[in-house]
Amino acid sequence: MSLVELTQVSKVYRSLTGGDYVAVRDFSLDIRTGEFFCLLGTSGCGKTTVLNMVAGFEAVSSGNLRLGGKPIAGPAADRGVVFQGDDSLYGWLSAQGNVEFGLRMRGIARREREEKARHYLELVGLKGQEHKHPSELSGGMKQRIQIARVLANEPQMLLMDEPFAALDAHTRADMQRELKRICAATGKTVLFITHDIDEAIILADRIGVMHAGPASKLKGIVPVTLSDTERERTHDRFVEVYRQVHEMIRDEVAISLQRAH
């Protein structure tokens, strides 16, 4: 069953100087309930645009966008968003306070929100760090708090825009493992944006590759049917999928570089 259905969706940005920019055109994609879908593409191809439409922050210019069969009218608590390059933690609140914040806004009683915050901080591997403030935590830890904060709201779907891009390789690998575990444990549907092919293969059930922009759409979808042990960079089957995705994206990188000059 599909949770999200994008059918021939186009997005046109009106520029301040009068011209229009067609970011995506006739973009179609179904994301299944419970699947981990990675969207891959060159810089500026429209990945964030697609995510923002699914999040409800941007309206579609034409086409159909549905969540659970209903048109998406705007942002709602059923979708939790981790933004690209996000550093939106409240510096004056502890890790616990940051995760509790959204719950407090929704009027959830103190005891329940304390328990939920603790539970999700533990889930992202931050047990014992609840009382620290963002300035006392590493980049990777802060990123985990952001994910805990989104999870604590218990959305049906996670929308993650390059959430690990700023992390060092080691923390990143840890977070990938952690996220996979959490999603498997909680049955979330995930739209995850990255331009790292390895990351996509480690995480995804399916990988969608976009054309270079403007007027981008999906070039193709690669299913990733690897077992956990096969999701190792050196495994033959991993390399096979890598080649497949790399071939799809290679030409788009060249086109995107050409257009930039």
Ligand X SMILES: Nc1ncnc2c1ncn2[C@@H]1O[C@H](COP(=O)(O)OP(=O)(O)OP(=O)(O)O)[C@@H](O)[C@H]1O
Triad 223, 188, 33: Cα angle to 5°: 55
Our finding on whether 57 is near ligand X (CB under 6 A) is no
Region of 42-50, 74-82, 177-185, 251-259 interacting with ligand X (CB under 6 A) = 42-50
Our finding on whether 48 is near Mg ion (CB under 5 A) is yes
Region of 34-42, 77-85, 125-133, 172-180 interacting with Mg ion (CB under 5 A) = 77-85
Beta carbon nearer to ligand X, 46 or 208: 46
Q: How far is the CB of 160 from ligand X (least distance, A)?
A: 12
Residues 106-125, interacting with ligand X (CB under 6 A): none
Region of 15-23, 109-117, 230-238, 243-251 interacting with ligand X (CB under 6 A) = 15-23
Region of 28-36, 46-54, 71-79, 120-128 interacting with ligand X (CB under 6 A) = 46-54
Using CB under 6 A, which of 4, 213, 248, 256 touches ligand X? Answer: 213
Beta carbon nearer to Mg ion, 48 or 96: 48
Our finding on whether 45 is near ligand X (CB under 6 A) is yes
Our finding on whether 48 is near ligand X (CB under 6 A) is yes
Phi-psi region at 103: left, alpha or beta (left = phi > 0; alpha = psi -120 to 50): alpha
